[in-house]
């Protein structure tokens, strides 16, 4: 019994004399090598009914970790209005940045998403709507896109900033129409799916356009360049 009690006293006292050391990339609690039971006596235990009860809790490791966490806290101090995706807000900007809403976006001005407030939620296509658009020929989806872009630009009075984009879309549509004129069935098919992109902002329309596999990749890059140029011209964010 004396041997068991002495071992418990030694283990509890050794834990109290432990220290926090850095091992590679982790912090570990290491027992102190300079501790000697003959020099120091543990005052954390007292006799109670023939048993030893530990009344104190060593919180030094927790306190040290709490103090050190302040030096490694990842906090974003970038202003919310200077991301490149915020240009053209609220009509031509990118989709809202989820991390910026919680203040954890670390990209700052390099973030490709909008850091400004949006009054309307992000519009998404349902699976069947996305499949219908991907099954259409390039001419039909460009006709739908052209109609929505022209309609939104006229409504928002953005015909001048998007003048080159509309001209490029018109040129591509005429080129495809001359190469293979659409049939009456295809025109009716496009008219039935004309309102699939309803509720999309101009920025979201061009984002969805970049995901269509049937559209020529060089044409996608050309439209993307022109849209980014229009956003640069609208560098001052517009409040929704």
Q: In DSSP terms, which residues pair with 48 in a beta bridge? A: 51
**3-state secondary structure (DSSP) of residue 76:** coil
The pLDDT tens digits of the residues spanning 72-125 come to 544 544 454 568 888 888 888 888 888 887 778 888 788 888 888 888 777 888
Tell me the C-alpha distance between 195 and 95, whole Å. 21
Which residue from 49, 42, 38 is spatially nearest to 16, judged by alpha carbons? 42
138 vs 3, more confident: 138
Q: Calculate Rg over the CA atoms of the chain.
A: 33
Residue 136: pLDDT band (50, 70, 90) is very high
Q: Are 84 and 101 in contact (CB under 8 A)?
A: no
Kindly report the pTM of this predicted structure: 0.62
The confidence score (pLDDT) of residue 46 equals 54
The confidence score (pLDDT) of residue 238 equals 47
Assess whether pLDDT exceeds 60 at residue 142. yes
Assess whether pLDDT exceeds 80 at residue 66. no
Q: Percent of the chain, pLDDT > 90? A: 35
Residues 6+ apart with CB under 8 A from 87: 93, 231, 232, 234, 235, 237
Tell me the C-alpha distance between 217 and 211, whole Å. 10
The pLDDT tens digits of the residues spanning 150-203 come to 999 999 999 899 999 999 999 999 999 999 999 999 999 999 999 999 889 899
Distances (CA, A) of 142 to 46, 138, 139, 160: 84, 6, 5, 20
Q: Which residue has the tokens 């309609």?
A: 151
Tell me the C-alpha distance between 61 and 67, whole Å. 10
Distance of CA 160 to the CA centre of its chain: 32
φ and ψ at 53, to 5 degrees? -120, 125
Residues 6+ apart with CB under 8 A from 18: 29, 30, 31, 32, 58, 61
Which residue from 134, 130, 76 is spatially nearest to 108, judged by alpha carbons? 76
Tell me the C-alpha distance between 148 and 56, whole Å. 71
């Amino acid at each position: 019994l004396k041997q068991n009690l002495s071992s418990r006293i030694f283990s509890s006292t050794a834990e109290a004399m432990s220290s926090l050391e850095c091992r590679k990339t982790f912090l570990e609690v290491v027992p102190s090598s300079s501790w000697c039971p003959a020099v120091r006596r543990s005052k954390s235990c007292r006799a109670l009914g023939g048993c030893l009860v530990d009344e104190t809790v060593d919180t030094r490791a927790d306190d040290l970790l709490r103090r050190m966490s302040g030096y490694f806290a990842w906090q974003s101090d970038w202003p919310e209005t200077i991301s490149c995706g915020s240009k053209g807000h609220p009509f031509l900007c990118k989709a809202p940045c989820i991390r910026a809403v919680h203040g954890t976006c670390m990209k700052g001005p390099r973030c490709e998403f909008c850091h400004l407030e949006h009054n309307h939620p992000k519009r998404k296509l349902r699976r069947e709507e996305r499949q219908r658009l991907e099954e259409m020929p390039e001419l039909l989806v460009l006709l739908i896109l052209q109609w929505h872009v022209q309609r939104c630009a006229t409504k928002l009075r953005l015909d001048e900033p998007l003048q080159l984009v509309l001209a490029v879309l018109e040129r591509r549509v005429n080129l495809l129409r001359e190469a293979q004129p659409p049939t009456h069935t295809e025109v009716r098919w496009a008219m039935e799916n004309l309102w699939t992109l309803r509720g999309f902002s101009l920025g979201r329309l061009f984002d969805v356009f970049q995901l269509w596999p049937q559209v020529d990749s060089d044409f996608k890059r050309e439209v993307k360049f022109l849209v980014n140029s229009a956003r640069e011209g609208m560098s001052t964010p517009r409040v929704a």
